[in-house]
Amino acid sequence: MEHFDHVVVGGGIIGASTAYHLTRKKAGKVLLLERNELASAASSRAAGLVMQVSTKPSKTPLANRTIRTVPVLEEELGESVGFHNVGSLRITASERRATELASMVAYASRCGIPVEWTDADTLGRIVPWLDTSHVHKAAYFPTDGYVDPYILSMSYIKAAQARGAVIRPRTEVYDICMERQKVTGVLTDAGRISCGTVIDACGVWSALLSAQVGYLLPLAPVRSHYWVAEPDAVYGGEHPVTTLPDAAAYTRPEVGGLVLGVQETHSATFDARELPNDPAAFSPTDGEEHWDVLVDAYKAVAQFFPGIQTARFSSYICGLSSYTPDGEIVLGPVPDVSGFFAATGACGSGIALSAGIGNTVSDLVLGRPTEVDITPYRPDRFGNVDPFGESFRERCASARASKIRTVA
């Protein structure tokens, strides 16, 4: 029987980062298992925003760790990880939102994250397509940006392999082996593998894996999506990621075009037990209803982006994100099971938080003090829940709907 000290289940960006950070800390023999191709689910469909100050202050140190890890990875690999350091803008159109933004700016300053207030003239220069007539206040975070999520995922993988990690795609985990409530191994379609710890990084399927140790993680699959406008001189070129809380929308550059994400007032949710094993065999979109979402947001978005009137949206990208009722991640040991850890429930921020999550869970696995307080992330913070039930999933959908609108 093969033996590894740590087995990471899930080959998306969180699992990849976890394997990388375990090897950086010389944690022993590390194995990453993925039943499909690496980074083939949410990690390959994400918009790739990397913003350090969000609507959840507890996420800031995790996102900041990702920003700090990018140059480390690039030095190790000798190549780009696909990060575009264009900065980010948070733009408000009301006094209430301006007050909220002021608290975010103050928090960023306390955390040592560069930020500056931006006037209308500067906005017009760095974001030429933006109509500044409705802007009340705007703040610029120069160290933010966006990344190609697949490239970053594979960069973690390559760096982990270079440090000795074993990576096995197309290997499915059927069961977790335990003795006296302690993890002793995993049963895969290639046989049994013994190990001391298992890290559940299965994304929207995480509760299915944790159920094998008798604990249901509190998260549900919720639809996330965005649209891509074809290249155009009006809005093309590199410019900052923009967040528009008054319109519940965001944008980022996309090879001469523009990515536009719009927050639904009610996001579709799914029972994880009914999802296919292969994400390529499933679409979370029913018919063409996603265009209705864009139409409903048209007026609010047009206040800031009048070019939407002539923009040609040729692509629509959708996927599933693992959400929790409070919009916080699920990170830490599960109760009453020794050696089983959760690193999931990223709530649509998995790319931005990837290094922070990997770094934190690797410290937990090794019994070391963590750099961040993990209390907001505890898997048991909701008590016993039914993550497959409709009422719980509705709570997760509400968290998704308020992600941009909610303020720290």
pLDDT tens sequence across 2-17: 999 999 999 999 999 9
Q: CB neighbours (10 Å) of residue 96?
A: 13
- 309, 302 contact by CB (below 8 A): yes
- Taking alpha carbons only, the member of 332, 326, 123 closest to residue 215 is 332
For residue 407, name the pLDDT band (cuts at 50, 70, 90): very low
- Domains of the chain by start residue, with CATH: 2-67+149-220+325-386 (3.50.50.60)
pLDDT above 70 coverage of the chain, percent: 98
Rounded to the nearest integer, the mean pLDDT of the chain is 94
pLDDT tens sequence across 362-387: 999 999 999 999 999 999 999 999 99
Given the structure tokens 């990621």, which residue do they identify?
A: 241
**Is the pLDDT assigned to residue 314 strictly greater than 70?**
yes
- Taking alpha carbons only, the member of 134, 164, 209, 214 closest to residue 23 is 164
pLDDT tens sequence across 43-54: 999 999 999 998
**Spatial separation of the C-alpha atoms in residues 113 and 187, rounded to whole Å:** 44
**Length in residues, the chain:** 408
**Is the pLDDT assigned to residue 405 strictly greater than 60?**
no
- 401, 266 contact by CB (below 8 A): yes
Q: Which pLDDT score, from 0 to 100, does residue 406 have?
A: 43
